Amino acid sequence: MSTTTISAQEDARMLAAQQARRRKLFWDAVGRISLHTTLILLSIAALVPVLWMISSSLKASTEIFAADSPWIPLDPRWQNYADAFTMAPLWLNMGNTLIVCVGTVVGTVISSSLVAYSFARMHWPGKNVFFALLIATMVLPGIVTLVPRYVMFARFFPAITGFSWVNTFLPLIVPTWFATQGFYVFLLRQFFVSVPVELEDAARIDGASTLRILCQVVLPLSKPALISVVVFTFLYHYADFLEPLIYLSNTKTWTLAVAIRSFNDQFYATSWELVFATGTFALIPMIVLFFVAQRYFVEGIHLTGFGGR
Residue pLDDT, tens place only, 234-243: 999 999 999 9
Predicted local distance difference test score (pLDDT) of residue 308: 40
- Rounded-to-integer distance, Cα 108 and Cα 130, Å: 19
- Asked if 86 contacts 241 with a C-beta cutoff of 8 angstroms, the reply is no
Is the confidence at residue 299, as pLDDT, over 60?
Answer: no
Predicted local distance difference test score (pLDDT) of residue 223: 85
Alpha helices in the chain (DSSP H): 3-56, 61-64, 79-87, 90-121, 127-136, 146-151, 157-161, 170-173, 182-194, 197-205, 210-213, 219-221, 223-239, 242-247, 256-267, 272-300
48-68 core/surface letters (b: 16 or more CB in 10 A; e: else): eeeeeeebbbbbbbebbeeee
CATH superfamily of 79-306: MetI-like (1.10.3720.10)
- Asked if 166 contacts 153 with a C-beta cutoff of 8 angstroms, the reply is yes
State the helix-helix crossing angle for 3-56 and 272-300, rounded to 10 degrees: 150
Predicted local distance difference test score (pLDDT) of residue 302: 46
Rg (CA), the chain: 28
- Rounded-to-integer distance, Cα 274 and Cα 265, Å: 11
Is the confidence at residue 1, as pLDDT, over 60?
Answer: no
Average pLDDT over residues 60-86: 84
Query: pLDDT of 257-278, one tens digit each?
Result: 998 888 877 765 567 888 889 8
If DSSP codes are grouped into helix, strand and coil, which group holds residue 47? helix
Domain residue spans in the chain?
3-56, 79-306
- Rounded-to-integer distance, Cα 134 and Cα 137, Å: 5
Query: pLDDT of 209-256, one tens digit each?
Result: 999 999 999 999 888 889 889 988 999 999 999 999 999 988 899 999
Average pLDDT over residues 102-125: 94
The Cα-based distances of 286 to 232, 299, 302 in angstroms read 11, 20, 25
7-23 core/surface letters (b: 16 or more CB in 10 A; e: else): eeeeeeeeeeeeeeeee
Amino acid, single-letter form, for residue 154: A
Query: pLDDT of 182-217, one tens digit each?
Result: 899 998 998 899 888 998 999 999 888 999 999 999
Of 225, 220, 206, the C-alpha closest to 293 is 225
